[in-house]
């Protein structure tokens, strides 16, 4: 223990490795796995948090980060964090919803208008409701959700201008029932794939399209295998920073406090990083060859409404959660 293990695989990983630390097991040796490349703000800020935690606990708590699906895809990491094979994981709300269905509520299509609405809901009652549900499956969720971003659609064959362009479109979505249902309601042909498979599935044309926030399109180099980007803002997505419940309860309260504070603070900084990236990334992606368009949400919303999407998901999430969502964003259906 002690070394940032597992980082040897893949180019560019050396940037995370500082001077080798003394190879002595910490009192609490924790593994944190995630699905994103090292250059994403999620990894930059969680690395800083791990350093801070090591310092403030005088080395008693040592968190090793395994980025970029090194420990397997989301589905694997979700079962590892439940069993205790890893202590920390940052699943997207879409993904943890396979275990905690109400967690996908922030991803209801076209619900949030802007970040003001997002953070007041997720730092407020809606987030509290979801964290309560996460705790019921034996996981601890830290208070501050991290930002993935507003999801945008990219495609290879033709641009997406209106909902009619979704007809039969083979689009990769995360492993999440809400994503599948939403894209089926839009008459697309969605395929659930782990994030680790997205680049190659676009390259080999197993699918023609995918949807992710701009910072991910950039750090995962999806512009190399896509031509068009529709700024659809169809889902707001965030990452819950979660811990295995047993491991979390096994930490003395003073160490819990240091870990919580460092992780929540890093999450708030990470939100600012994504906000800044949102300003600059489009120009960069354009220079790399992506062609952008800004579809009106109207035809998409109408199709979701007419297909009964909102009504069905209101039923699935339950009246209480739906009321909290509508309290934050206004009436949806």
7 vs 173, beta carbon nearer ligand X2X: 173
Closest separation in Å from C-beta 298 to ligand X2X: 25
Closest separation in Å from C-beta 114 to ligand X2X: 20
Q: Alpha-carbon distance 316 to 309, whole Å?
A: 11
Q: Alpha-carbon distance 175 to 212, whole Å?
A: 13
Question: How far separated are the first and last CA of the chain, in Å rounded?
Answer: 52
Single residue of 42, 95, 108, 130 touching ligand X2X by CB under 6 A: 95
Single residue of 35, 98, 106, 185 touching ligand X2X by CB under 6 A: 35
Closest separation in Å from C-beta 176 to ligand X2X: 7
Measure Cα distances from 187 to 35, 51, 99, 195, 268 in Å.
Answer: 28, 47, 26, 22, 37
Q: Which residues contact 215 (CB under 8 A, 6 or more apart)?
A: 40, 41, 149, 274, 277, 278, 281
50 vs 173, beta carbon nearer ligand X2X: 173
Contact between 154 and ligand X2X by CB under 6 A: the answer reads no
Contact between 103 and ligand X2X by CB under 6 A: the answer reads no
Contact 86, 32 (CB under 8 A): yes
Contact between 215 and ligand X2X by CB under 6 A: the answer reads no
Closest separation in Å from C-beta 25 to ligand X2X: 31
Look at residues 59, 58, 56 and name the one whose alpha carbon lies nearest to residue 26.
Answer: 59
Q: Which residues contact 295 (CB under 8 A, 6 or more apart)?
A: 160, 161, 162, 230, 231, 232
Residues 75-94 that bind ligand X2X (CB under 6 A): 92, 94
Look at residues 193, 229, 197, 226 and name the one whose alpha carbon lies nearest to residue 213.
Answer: 229
Closest separation in Å from C-beta 222 to ligand X2X: 10
37 vs 295, beta carbon nearer ligand X2X: 37
Residues 302-331 that bind ligand X2X (CB under 6 A): none
Other Cβ atoms within 10 Å of 101 Cβ, number? 16
57 vs 80, beta carbon nearer ligand X2X: 80
Q: Which residues contact 120 (CB under 8 A, 6 or more apart)?
A: 328
243 vs 251, beta carbon nearer ligand X2X: 243
Q: Alpha-carbon distance 33 to 80, whole Å?
A: 9
Single residue of 106, 154, 185, 212 touching ligand X2X by CB under 6 A: 212
Contact between 46 and ligand X2X by CB under 6 A: the answer reads no
Single residue of 209, 216, 217, 325 touching ligand X2X by CB under 6 A: 216
Contact between 195 and ligand X2X by CB under 6 A: the answer reads yes
Single residue of 109, 174, 215, 295 touching ligand X2X by CB under 6 A: 174
Q: What would the two tokens of residue 21 be?
A: 């630390």
79 vs 256, beta carbon nearer ligand X2X: 79
Contact between 152 and ligand X2X by CB under 6 A: the answer reads no
3-class DSSP state of 322: helix
Interacting residues with ligand X2X (CB under 6 A): 35, 92, 94-95, 148, 174, 195, 212, 216
């Amino acid at each position: 223990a002690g070394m940032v293990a597992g980082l040897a695989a893949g180019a560019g990983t050396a940037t995370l490795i500082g001077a080798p630390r003394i190879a002595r097991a910490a009192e609490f040796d924790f593994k944190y796995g995630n699905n994103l490349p090292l250059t994403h703000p999620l990894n930059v800020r969680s690395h800083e948090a791990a350093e801070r935690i090591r310092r403030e606990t005088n080395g008693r708590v040592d968190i090793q980060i395994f980025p970029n699906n090194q420990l397997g895809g989301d589905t694997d990491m979700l079962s590892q964090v439940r069993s205790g094979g890893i202590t920390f994981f940052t699943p997207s709300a879409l993904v943890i919803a396979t275990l905690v269905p109400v967690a996908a509520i922030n991803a209801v299509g076209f619900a949030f208008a802007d970040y003001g609405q997002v953070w007041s809901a997720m730092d407020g009652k809606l987030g509290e409701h979801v964290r309560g549900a996460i705790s019921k499956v034996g996981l601890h969720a830290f208070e501050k959700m991290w930002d993935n971003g507003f999801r945008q659609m990219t495609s290879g064959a033709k641009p997406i201008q209106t909902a009619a362009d979704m007809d039969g479109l083979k689009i990769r979505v995360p492993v999440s029932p809400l994503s599948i249902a939403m894209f089926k309601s839009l008459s697309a042909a969605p395929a659930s794939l782990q994030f680790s498979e997205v680049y190659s599935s676009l390259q080999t044309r197993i699918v023609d399209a995918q949807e992710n926030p701009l910072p991910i399109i950039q750090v995962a180099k999806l512009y190399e295998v896509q031509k068009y980007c529709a700024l659809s803002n169809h889902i707001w997505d965030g990452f819950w920073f979660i811990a295995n419940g047993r491991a979390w309860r096994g930490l003395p309260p003073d160490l819990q406090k240091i870990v919580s504070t460092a992780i929540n603070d890093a999450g708030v900084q990470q939100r600012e990083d994504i906000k800044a990236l949102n300003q600059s990334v489009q120009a960069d992606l354009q220079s790399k060859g992506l062609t952008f368009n800004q579809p009106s949400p109207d035809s998409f919303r109408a199709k979701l409404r007419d297909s009964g999407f909102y009504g069905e998901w209101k039923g699935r999430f339950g009246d209480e959660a739906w009321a909290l969502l509508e309290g934050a964003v206004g009436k949806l259906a």
